[in-house]
Chain A
């Protein structure tokens, strides 16, 4: 059991709004950028569209990937979303009605990831060793040369051109242009997760060999944080880009990446979970951080100010994905197929 009694935590901070039971492991979940809607995919490949009605929800299954699904992503205008399946397909769905618009073949037996650009109507797909970029007309205008290994994760530059693809032995930065040579940042290892800092100064990866890698994008130099207890599966930035949370084992670390970066600074450990962390997500416009563990505990922290948990609940099963919506709503997908949306009564916003 964790060293926190959730029944005595600040109940005013987090309150359940509604839940739906989809009866299969929620493998990915995302809020529409413009409407109170969620899309969800299950491990068996079912695709759901859910309307958030405030204190209840309406959901419907809108389709299915044969074999299973891996990820989903909304286009920035909420007009459509894409799902990646084990069937080698990326399916595009109309954001409002849930109607299937089309399927595109991503070029592999298993599409690991699909991700819309936050700046343009461009969709990235990662299938096996291949990255493709697709325009509005569903034409692949960029196709990477073969990566050294299967692409594990993708992250778009949040403010400029380019998308980072993490695979074995480093990260490749593709500049979304057939004529531009990709930049390769090489090291020995195998990345599990990749993320840009909000100011695009750093690309950070969580690694299978229990390390975190920092790439200084401008110089191309990179540094490593060692000493994690297990593989590092989660990396999450706060909105200011100064603080990075990394999850490994039952502990997360908070790294101060301000000014000259994390070099020479001791990360702060946060340890109240008693089982391994499964999810870690900073509030997009505030200072709360949500963490969830394999014992089904969901904790809220204000890690920049406090060392202790400030809110929490015990879920009906472990969280498989945790997604913030504008800072005051938190959607949690679970292993038992439930999706729970919590209202978060934020203590303060924006104070860094």
Chain B
């Protein structure tokens, strides 16, 4: 899952129908960022996308390995991006706008499971738009909205002008309890600084958990947990036994991989002067030694985002790996 510098970054825009995906997309396209952006759309909405390179596709999920949802990828994206690769020196970023009902898992996994996609592209981040006014009407009807939130690196809480401040606080709390690693921005008409949605490095180990002072506070707080999807954060001092940790994580992913949407963390390994950084999607795991620890920062911080997570068991399993 390593990311090479020469790859073209890809941003995935998710969100329920009417949440403002196309409005955001047009904002990104019209910003003066100097990038030529290719857009892949899964559905043509009422609002047109103002770009000379818009490609429509229909979601086509298939299993790379029979029966394993962690190996589901998007065949349509492989085909279209395979074509775009041939002219990649002529654009610098790709935006994929999914349908309101799309599962972001196969989209994300496409960039790690397929060799050619992995070599040519890097997943920059999943940006999920949430309609602050109407999300309450459908968030509990199915898994789609929850999974889109769970996969997000960034959540834009949109249409905030239509909701009271108290309601917004409650909604933000709920979203943060589902995905403690996501950065939430409140927006009206999808107006947001580009730096919050483009080049966010959501899957980049070099940027895993960095520059986000609120991260630890968020996942340690005692939010009321969503019944199905939640975050479990672990923050503890001490050094880990590397072999024990990897064995525990491997066992965890083998047994609960389909339920773990995202994970990321910074770990302190016994005997190592450097940080160990990791991130993952379902059973796909990427980790490596990073820069040396700075004075006073040595500790373990990690978060799992998924369905039916057992907070006590995860903490106990992790703590058993400490030396």
Contact = CB atoms under 8 A, between A and B. Distances in A.
Contacts of A129: 58
Nearest to B80: A110
Nearest to B71: A209
Interface stretch (B59-67, B147-155, B185-193, B221-229): B59-67
A43 B87 contact: yes
Contacts of B65: 209
A286 B55 CA distance: 41
Nearest to A229: B115
Contacts, number: 63
Interface string A85-116: 01000000000000000000000111010000
Given A43-B83, A150-B76, A190-B75, A110 B62 contact: no
Contacts of B90: 44
A320 interface: yes
A318 to B, nearest CB: 11
B220 to A, nearest CB: 42
A189 interface: yes
B75 A67 contact: no
A80 interface: no
B66 A188 contact: yes
Given A150-B76, A152-B79, A320-B86, A168 B55 contact: no
Interface residues of B, number: 24
B56 interface: yes
B216 interface: no
A267 interface: no
Contacts of A342: none
A129 B55 CA distance: 15
A189 B66 CA distance: 9
Contacts of B80: 110
A335 interface: yes
B23 interface: no
A186 to B, nearest CB: 13
Contacts of B79: 112, 150, 152
A108 to B, nearest CB: 8
B113 to A, nearest CB: 10
B86 A208 contact: no
A247 interface: no
Contacts of B116: 231
A282 interface: no
B57 interface: yes
A169 interface: yes
Interface string A212-247: 000000000000000000110000000000000000
B58 A149 contact: yes
B55 A110 contact: yes
Closest 6 CB pairs of A and B: A109-B56, A149-B60, A190-B75, A190-B62, A43-B86, A25-B86
